[in-house]
Structure 1
């Protein structure tokens, strides 16, 4: 990635952990995402830990999409192939546009780390009401791979040849 000089744009981000077993004291993946967002210069404006239930996930994300203050939503958890995992089913009806390349690229990167088990990852991304939404697996390792190899660059207005910042709602 080439980062020419230019102005950094701090974004307002909400972070969701989808889990039936995590709470604020054990949410290592959510903690990781909030830490790297802050280190990058973005503002974490909301946080939620939501049970793996498509309607609860959808309700919280819908509130963030409708908010004038949230530009990006990062979700960890609920993207596996297990029948209990429902994050993709919660999000797909909300998207105005799906970003197919995100899931493809995430699985390519993940293949380097976990081999063919990446077939069971249903990581995805999309845009809804000018709000960018990324959903990745719940492991901290998967969150780190997604952040360092894809998301961080795409949330930086200095990234060339393109980034998602110009597609987001203006504050």
Structure 2
């Protein structure tokens, strides 16, 4: 069996929060550190308020940028009145990866029990760009990256991974 080489990806990180700044943003920093430790590149990181139009504007810009392979958002996936990340992202998706949210909540249950039902974590593909919308806690970001996303963004992961599908994402 031939050995596969690691393929570094270009990843953008969006922190959705009405209160966080670069100085106190733990979740975004957690994702950036993990992305870089895995050998990928962080192309850009932004913090936007929990406003569906501002979220959508940032994500749409990145989706249109052919150099960005993956977008990770953190925050805005809960059930309160201001939580709107899934509503902002859903209209942009060409395909939804239902298994991501299901598996994330299964893994999260092991840590936070029934509180996991409050998470509306989602993932999908838009214009050949993978999107992952994660809860705003740094613990949730660690769970999602360490147990789901990291391996799926590693070309060496067997039996299959999301990277190997990238050349075919634009097929009709």
TM above 0.5, yes or no, is: yes
Aligned equivalents of 1:139, 1:77: Cα separation in 2: 7
For residue 70 of structure 1, report the CA deviation from its aligned partner. Answer: 0.6
RMSD: 1.3
Q: For the Cα contact (< 8 Å) 1:132–1:168, is it kept in 2?
A: no
For residue 69 of structure 1, report the CA deviation from its aligned partner. Answer: 1.2
List per-residue Cα deviations over 1:113-143 (Å, max 9, x = no partner).
Answer: 1111111100000000000000110110000
Aligned equivalents of 1:5, 1:68: Cα separation in 2: 28
User: What TM-score results when the alignment is normalised by the length of structure 1?
Assistant: 0.95
Aligned equivalents of 2:26, 2:167: Cα separation in 1: 29
Aligned equivalents of 1:132, 1:83: Cα separation in 2: 26
Q: For the Cα contact (< 8 Å) 1:130–1:167, is it kept in 2?
A: no
Segment drifting more, 4-13 vs 36-45: 4-13
Aligned length: 167
For residue 85 of structure 1, report the CA deviation from its aligned partner. Answer: 0.1
Partner of 1:52: 50
The 5-angstrom pairing of residues 63-82 of structure 1 reads 63-82=61-80
Aligned equivalents of 2:101, 2:34: Cα separation in 1: 21
For residue 167 of structure 1, report the CA deviation from its aligned partner. Answer: 3.0
Aligned equivalents of 1:167, 1:51: Cα separation in 2: 33
Q: Secondary structure at the match of 2:47?
A: strand
Segment drifting more, 5-14 vs 158-167: 158-167
User: What TM-score results when the alignment is normalised by the length of structure 2?
Assistant: 0.94
Mark the runs of 5 or more structure 2 residues left unpaired by the alignment. none
Partner of 1:97: 95
Task: Find 2:152's aligned residue among 144, 149, 154.
Answer: 154
Q: Secondary structure at the match of 2:3?
A: coil
Partner of 1:137: 135
Change beyond 3 A, Cα 1:118–1:51:
same
For residue 169 of structure 1, report the CA deviation from its aligned partner. Answer: 6.2
